[in-house]
Amino acid sequence: MNITVLNGPNLNLLGQREPEIYGSTTLDDIQTRMNGYIKDGSVVLEFMQSNKEYELVEVIQSLMGKKNQFIIINPAAFTHTSVAIRDALQATQIPFIEVHLSNIYAREDFRKKSYFSDIAIGTISGLGANGYLLALNHLLTLRDRCITLG
């Protein structure tokens, strides 16, 4: 199983930027926690953060046609603006979970609209860095269910 964890703009500043909203956990901390969650080596996690929309689109497109591929994505500000990333996710048809550190539905009105929620397996919002682990856990549960049922 291969899981690509994509992070959008300004998430490289986690731990420094508005800790009252986003917490003190850094993106490196999240990556370390996620890697530590994988015990048996059966999952390959790849991480990428970019402030550039086109780079995220290119990574998503590069995954097209790969087997056992899933995405966990925190599109950050692109959540509310990026038809390009949405189109790339739809074109590849790779199952994905949308993650947000803050509760986007309890913030400014413009943050309440997501271009991804309606095409995602699920959305995790407002649970801080734990949202990434919850998304990972869900994908592992899906994998185990497919192995058991398959």
Residue 21 has pLDDT above 90, yes or no: no
51 closest CA partner among 70, 28, 74: 74
8 closest CA partner among 28, 27, 36, 30: 27
Beta strands in 11-113 (DSSP E): 44-49, 69-74, 96-100
Least confident of 23-27, 44-48, 96-100, 143-147: 143-147
Question: Alpha-carbon torsion 102, 121, 32, 114, what sign?
Answer: negative
Residues classed as catalytic: 22, 100
Question: Per-residue pLDDT averaged across 5-12, rounded?
Answer: 97
Domain borders along the chain are 2-149
134 closest CA partner among 74, 94, 50: 74
For residue 103, give every residue at least 6 positions away whose Cβ sits within 8 Å of its Cβ, in sequence order, or none.
125, 126
d(CA 40, CA 69): 18
d(CA 79, CA 76): 6
pLDDT at 150: 38
Each residue's pLDDT tens digit, 39-71:
788 899 999 999 999 999 999 999 999 888 999
Please report which confidence band the pLDDT of residue 109 belongs to, taking 50, 70 and 90 as the band edges. confident
Query: Using an 8 Å Cβ cutoff, are 125 and 102 in contact?
Result: yes
d(CA 70, CA 3): 5
pLDDT at 113: 86
Each residue's pLDDT tens digit, 91-108:
999 999 999 998 888 777
Residue 148 has pLDDT above 60, yes or no: no
Q: What is the mean pLDDT of the chain?
A: 91
Please report which confidence band the pLDDT of residue 12 belongs to, taking 50, 70 and 90 as the band edges. very high
CATH of domain 2-149: 3.40.50.9100
